[in-house]
Structure 1
Amino acid sequence: MVYSKQQKMTNAIIFIILCIGAVFMILPLLWMISTSFKNREAVFALPPEWIPKDFQFAKYAEIWTAGPLMSGIINSLIVAITVTVIGTLTSSLAAFAFAKMRFPMKNQIFLLLLSSMMIPYPAVMISQFIMFSGWEWVDTLLPLIVPGLFGNVVMIFFLRQYLYSIPNAIIEAAKIDGTSYFGIYARIIVPLIKPAIAAQLILWFMGIWNDYLPPILYLNSPEIQTLQLVIANFNASYAIQSDYPLIMAASVISLLPILIIFLIFQRQIIESVAISGVKG
């Protein structure tokens, strides 16, 4: 493809703008990592030291005794893995039902399900807290786990749209062969939509890992708090002492799982964005 001079100039301008935006987005991350290797005095040095003159690794050893960081990581893993694994199963089953099965008022029920996306969480969190409090679930991980076990509306919508690209003839042929609906789901549907499931599962895991509002509502005991609450408590406790390297070291540790997952599965994440634009 041959580009005109005007198109080349336009592409160059767009590239420069995107590079500037990328720099502004990555600078806070680089500053966080840099600060985690400094001492307290170097944090406030002028001009700022982007590369510490003397790398300090002591804070990465100190964070494990400064607060319940390990229990926070374990609690976050319990919530994220349980919800995403079981919730992905129920979401894919619901998507299969809405896309390929026939039952009364299917479209109306699906529209009702989509309408729940327009209700912000703060609008229901008080009534939800009262309900879970009556069940004595406060200060446990159950309020964070149980609602997600029944699926994710965004994932259901995404997988339903993806399933529309699968010919109905495949489903009908399997039914003629005597395969049950669950057999069709397990043997035909899941292998065909595995890339879409993987992409949505990763994005959902990242969202749960970074979630802050529900945990701060329900979790009080330090040993039951998720990682994001532990990091927030680090900030409240050590910012007064200007111990920003300790806070940044804990933040780097909390970022590592998400960063590793993104680097490993970035192809699936990018494909999920592309697929969402062309399926349906």
Structure 2
Amino acid sequence: MLLKSDDIKRIEIDFESGVIPPPFSHIFKLKISFERDFINTQFTVHYTDREELSEEEIISEGFTLEDDYDFLGEVPKVWEQPFKTLYANTKWSNKRDLDEDGGIRIFAKDLHGKISRSIPTNQDEWHMLAQEFIQAIYEVNQKEAPLTIRYRSIDKETVTNYVLTVKFSVRKVIVEINDQITELDWEESRKLLAFIYLPDYDYEVASDSTPKKRGQYIDCGDGLWHKFGKGVVNLDESFDAISKIHEGFENLNQL
């Protein structure tokens, strides 16, 4: 039974990663209740089947031995409408449970006590919103700082520095261009971030030193600079994500 989105008071998101192997395989649950001034939030993530791996195997894939995480607290109310809007725009499958590929299940309850349990057809949209909300949790609980991405363009006469600070907790993106500060629309920032994480970055040729030679460079948030044309490669030959990244940062000058 589809509920009226404006009446929803509680949403639960259950995720299973499916048949992917450890240490990547995991499950998470989000329980969010829309209160008057905040979102009452409970979050749990558990990485599965790691008992068959050695400590070295887990760490070599970029994980730690303490990746499981629990949170109980308040998240800013600015996140309420995105969940309700996505619920209202979602089409629901007739499946009763997830298959071996995993995915997301949604439980919703409204202010009249009516409930709905369904599997959305737009799995990617729900997964993206859930991941953004999880980043908000990490910021609220000071597990992680806001994401900071730097882009540096150097030509014969000028140097232009761009800094994006993505504050998931309050759904704001601050743009700094050569010390001039403005704000980027959240949905526009999503598009640019998606392009940024599409290419393959060669960390063997990355540098922690601020670039000084002519070219375009990017730091994806880990403090290492990657030079376009040397350490950044499009993974999909049919889509030029690199050009989209350049275009996206250049368009920030129009804000």
More strand by share: 2
TM over 0.5: no
> Normalised by the shorter chain, which TM-score bucket?
under 0.3
Q: For the pair shown, which has the larger CA radius of gyration, 1 or 2?
A: 1
TM-score normalised over the length of structure 2:
0.24
More RCO (CA 8 Å, sep 6+): 1
